[in-house]
Amino acid sequence: MAGKLEGKAAVITGAGSGIGRAIALRFAREGAAVTVADLDAAGGETTVAQVEADGGRARFVACDVADSAAVRTTIDAAAAAFGRLDILVNNAGIGVTGRAEDLSIEDWNRVIAVDLSGVFYGAKYAIPHLRRAGGGAIINVSSAFGIVAAPEVPAYCAAKGGVIMLTRQLAVDYAREGIRVNALCPGYVATDMGGRRAALPPRQRDAANARREANAALQPIGRQAHPDEIAAAALYLASDESSFVVGAALCVDGGETISFPHLFG
Ligand SMILES: NC(=O)c1ccc[n+]([C@@H]2O[C@H](COP(=O)([O-])OP(=O)(O)OC[C@H]3O[C@@H](n4cnc5c(N)ncnc54)[C@H](O)[C@@H]3O)[C@@H](O)[C@H]2O)c1
């Protein structure tokens, strides 16, 4: 049976780990040729090896999405390597914690550069290729925290909220050309965002993991998502199954953004 992305080519940023890797594996299984773009070469090459072991096609390109020239080169190289570009998933993202008075200007600028400007650069340089392919899909990975605010992540919330609005704006400009732009808003997903928790001393790491589990337990579904559950939604937005979905912010969050986890009264 033909895959849902047979004959298509996709670029996925931040595909060296977590959600991006799950999306790369899923898209390749559905027939897409995948460019894995990531800062982390070891992670990116591991994703490529996993795709190939699975019978798919992938290549790795080292790229910092905060560097507009690098994004342009990566996207042009991806389109040249596979002869076309149909799908871009702007997934690379980082978070830095600290209330406004404590968050450094450098950390603010870096989070905005990676999580928001990186999305703009990706779209800017992918759109001409998508047009040439006769249309395509851009999927921007935002977050539940682009919709509801969480404590101590001002830059992350601002960037992820910005991604939703940027998604809508791009969708307005390009829908008539068959380029559909949508956002995905995951809730808690069982990844190790930025390797931050894995890098902690064991006691702190265990405490951070326990806190995350406790937060996830407050979601109506009561658990974290598996990265594959986010990849399934990305596949929907990338495929023709979502042909009438334009500028959406699709929450895949176990109900996190529709609830307030306290009792009445
Ligand atoms: N894990 C969650 O609970 C969760 C929830 C909501 C949204 N998200 C979003 O999902 C996306 C993926 O997160 P994840 O949980 O898989 O994290 P992760 O840390 O496992 O993966 C992120 C990947 O992005 C790469 N990356 C980081 N900065 C980059 C840059 N400047 N240029 C290129 N690559 C870069 C990292 O090397 C890594 O491979 C992020 O945008 C994140 O904000 C995650």
Q: What is the pLDDT of residues 155-201, one digit of tens each?
A: 999 999 999 999 999 999 999 999 999 999 999 999 987 676 778 88
- Cα(98) to ligand 1 centroid in Å equals 18
Say which residues have a Cβ less than 8 Å from residue 185's Cβ, sequence separation at least 6.
142, 143, 144, 146, 147, 160, 164, 249, 250, 251, 252, 253, 257
The pLDDT of residue 121 is above 70: yes
Residue nearest to atom 17 of ligand 1 (CA): 193
Q: Are residues 107 and 201 in the same domain?
A: no
Between these two residues, 2 and 181, which has the higher pLDDT value? 181
- For residue 215, the enclosing domain spans 197-224
Q: Are residues 93 and 182 in the same domain?
A: yes
Residue nearest to atom 31 of ligand 1 (CA): 64
Least confident of 63-77, 188-202, 225-239, 250-264: 188-202
H or E element in which residue 163 lies: helix 154-174
13 lines ligand 1 (CB under 6 A): yes
**Tokens 């200007």 map to which residue?**
105
Structural domains in the chain (count): 2
**Tokens 């909220």 map to which residue?**
161
Q: Are residues 115 and 132 in the same domain?
A: yes
At 2 the pLDDT is 86
Q: Are residues 101 and 213 in the same domain?
A: no
18 lines ligand 1 (CB under 6 A): yes
66 lines ligand 1 (CB under 6 A): yes
State the Cα–Cα distance between residues 18 and 230, nearest whole angstrom: 10
At 194 the pLDDT is 65
Q: Are residues 136 and 180 in the same domain?
A: yes
Active site amino acids: 156
39 lines ligand 1 (CB under 6 A): yes
Identify the CATH number of the domain in which residue 26 sits.
3.40.50.720
pTM of the model: 0.97
